[in-house]
Amino acid sequence: MPYLTYNYELFLIGALALLFLFRAVRAMIYKEINIPRETVIVALALFIAFLSTQTFENHAIRIDGFAPRYNLTLFKTIGKLIEKGRSYDGQETYHLHINIIYINLLGNLLIFAPVGFLSAFLFKEAKWYKSLLAGFSLSFTIEIVQLFLITRSFDIDDLFLNSLGTLIGYLFFKLVTLIPPVKRFAQKTGHSERPYGWQWAIAYILCVILLSLAIFLHQYRIAKSVPWG
């Protein structure tokens, strides 16, 4: 089966380099660097890089046709996992339940909590729906990309759990900002939001998409030139 293994390391380096370039240009335009805000942005970027590494690294892309796997029925996968755990007895049941509940369900739930937590620091008015939109958009992007991977699939249950996890992260943000020093830090990061932030974010995302396509097309040409028996 013709496939290629995406050069994710090159993409990650390029995406992070573009981020630092965009931040440097923004700093030169406004002649100001807000250290607390830049710290949060870098922390969020590094977490997203870690998250995408766990999701995409070492997964092959099919190049001989599009045969996606997907689940569009909410709670279908979650229900199957729980039901599968209940179908075993004895010690095996215990270990299976641990894997199912803590790794699969709680893992998908809590892995996006940092997105909701960190993104809330970046808004002048930290509203729950802003963080939710950030987490949902990231999770949806990941699920779409997984349609093209041989061993991955699009799952609406993952999208639901990730979005719920984002809200948990936001609620934790609201909790910790009751502490005066953290509240002052959040005010510094949020109130330093510069004009045209969304436009810059969209421009950065478009550059990252072009970078990913360029790497894919380069590897695609190489993979197509390899004879498959």
Q: Where are the domains of the chain?
A: 3-225
Whether the model pTM is above 0.75: yes
State pLDDT tens for residues 4-23. Answer: 888 889 999 999 999 999 99
**Per residue in 31-59, pLDDT tens?**
888 999 999 999 999 999 999 888 887 77
Tens digits of per-residue pLDDT, 90-134?
Answer: 555 556 566 666 677 888 899 999 999 999 999 999 999 999 999
The answer to whether residues 191 and 123 touch, using CB atoms and an 8 Å cutoff, is no
User: What is the C-alpha to C-alpha distance for residues 149 and 5, in angstroms, rounded to an integer?
Assistant: 10
pLDDT at 220: 87
Kind and range of the H or E run holding 10: helix 8-30
| Structure tokens that stand for 122 in this block | 């970046």
For residue 193, what is the DSSP state? P
Greater confidence (97 vs 66) lies with 66
Across the range 77-84, mean pLDDT stands at 79
Give yes or no for a contact between 96 and 85, defined as CB atoms under 8 angstroms apart.
Answer: yes
